[in-house]
A and B are shown apart, each in its own frame.
Chain A
Amino acid sequence: MNPHTVKTYGEELDQLSAEVILMGGLAEAQVADAVEAVARRDVALAQSVIQRDQRLDELEKDIERKAIRLIALRQPMASDLRKTVSAMKIATSLERTGDLAKNIAKRSLVISESEPMSGLTRSIERMGKLVSSRLRDVLDAYKGSKLDIAQAVWSSDTEVDEHYNAMFRELLTYMMGDPRTISACTHVLFMAKNLERIGDHATNMAEHIHYEVTGEDYMNERPKLTTMEP
């Protein structure tokens, strides 16, 4: 695409995308670290995740401010408008992703005080890896405006759902087997739910990327497991 006649306008748009990419990298690390804190029962790492979440909140606000400023001062049109709007929406998704990672880290602090449940935490780790890779892919798609990758992320959401459903059943078995684990298991269940929600955010972001690049909404229904557990 040709550069803008007004160079600073183009620079401002580039800055906005760069900040979203930066935020994406941080959110991705937050998820990976939160999951690792669960797997290793690492209190220090969990606390660092909790504390770093503020940075994501700040970045989201900053991106929103910049986008509003662009809309007010530059009146972006067509692809520029879509870029501005999708930056704002993706930033919101990333901020929510950060919140969910922070929540996982908080719960890891609680369960690290009870008996290790290595089978369950390994499941969380596996699911975390899957979700992290989806986040990574969707951010790569954003960076390079790669529609095929966004499409792949969008259509693979069922995989995460399947993981979540499997964990749900696994946890039920655990809790029925030994009611003393109910408290810890409930925390693990919420962690799994959080990861599943992060997967949904990745799907959302894939939709925003699709809109930004093509100007069209997704026509198809989002893939969802019909037998979703609550």
Chain B
Amino acid sequence: MKLYTRPLYAPDTSIGKPRDPSMTTTATTPKFVARDVKVYYGDKPALHGIDIDILDKSVTAFIGPSGCGKSTFLRCLNRMNDTIPSARVDGTILLDGEDLNDRKVDPVVLRARVGMVFQKPNPFPKTIYENVAYGPKIHGLATSKEEMDHIVESSLKKASLWNEVSDRLHQQGTGLSGGQQQRLVIARAIAVGPEVILMDEPCSALDPIATAKIEELIDELRQQFCIVIVTHSMAQAARVSQKTAFFHLGNLVEVGNTEDIFTNPKDQRTQDYITGRFG
């Protein structure tokens, strides 16, 4: 099935089951295969050729000092760099075997399949219900009010927010606490039936309890989605991810099982970074 023809939403939302049996993948199938990915901002190279496989149904954490290219690479995965006029991307990134930089790929469709959550929660200045219903509405995923209600409810449930907001769905989303807003944004991303969720420092604006709730949510979501998270907190990367990739000065220095990276990294630069020895 081609990327640009694939239906975005199948109404079967039963939790824990793959939506489309033909798309069933095992934990060892790479969702993304990136080869020699280079990004330039104007003349300035930001990534010097990244090769990485990102597994489905698991959490991959990108770590590295500021300016190392981890967010730039994350943004390649749903073509967010298209929005930066000076940015140029070379190399190939395959999503389920299809080149996502192909001219035929509609970035809007791609971003529905590859959702994104940012550092600061950014709900629309609308009600909680409208925030979640917005994506399904513009993508025409619901044919009736009942169907839309169902999408909103199941998305909020998957984002572990339903119990806290079910009695005030028509109040403003911006009135929620920071942690709730972040989960609302995750529900909004889930509502359009994505396969991948990219998270760019999703907890850095949250307190420890809200952070723990998001981390618990990430752990649940990885049963269904491929999750890629950029984080400055090494402890968070260690807690939530199965794979960790360390970026430095635009290079992917090392990628491996999270446990190995944090107990016995192979590269001296990884070792120096995670033990706090970068001067």
Contacts and interface: CB of A to CB of B under 8 A. Distances in A.
Interface of A: 1-6, 9, 75-82, 214-216
Given A2-B272, A75-B235, A77-B234, A82 B263 contact: yes
A77 B263 CA distance: 6
Nearest to B272: A2
A interface, over-half SS: loop
B265 interface: yes
B175 to A, nearest CB: 35
B279 interface: yes
Nearest to B268: A1
Given A77-B274, A78-B264, A5 B235 contact: no
Interface residues of B, number: 16
A32 B9 CA distance: 76
15 contacts: A1-B277, A2-B278, A4-B275, A4-B277, A5-B276, A5-B278, A5-B279, A6-B276, A77-B263, A77-B274, A78-B265, A78-B270, A79-B275, A82-B263, A216-B264
B223 interface: no
Interface of B: 234-235, 238, 262-265, 270-272, 274-279
Q: Which 8 A-B pairs have the closest CB atoms?
A: A215-B264, A2-B277, A77-B274, A80-B275, A5-B276, A77-B262, A78-B271, A78-B275
A77 B262 CA distance: 6
A216 B263 CA distance: 10
Contacts, number: 46
A208 to B, nearest CB: 14
B64 to A, nearest CB: 14
Give the interface centre of B265, B270, B275 by most chain A CB atoms within 10 Å.
B275
Contacts of B279: 2-3, 5
A80 to B, nearest CB: 5
Contacts of B276: 4-6, 9
B84 to A, nearest CB: 32
A79 B60 CA distance: 22
A41 B137 CA distance: 93
B278 A79 contact: no
Contacts of A75: 234-235
Nearest to B278: A5
B263 A76 contact: no
B262 A3 contact: no
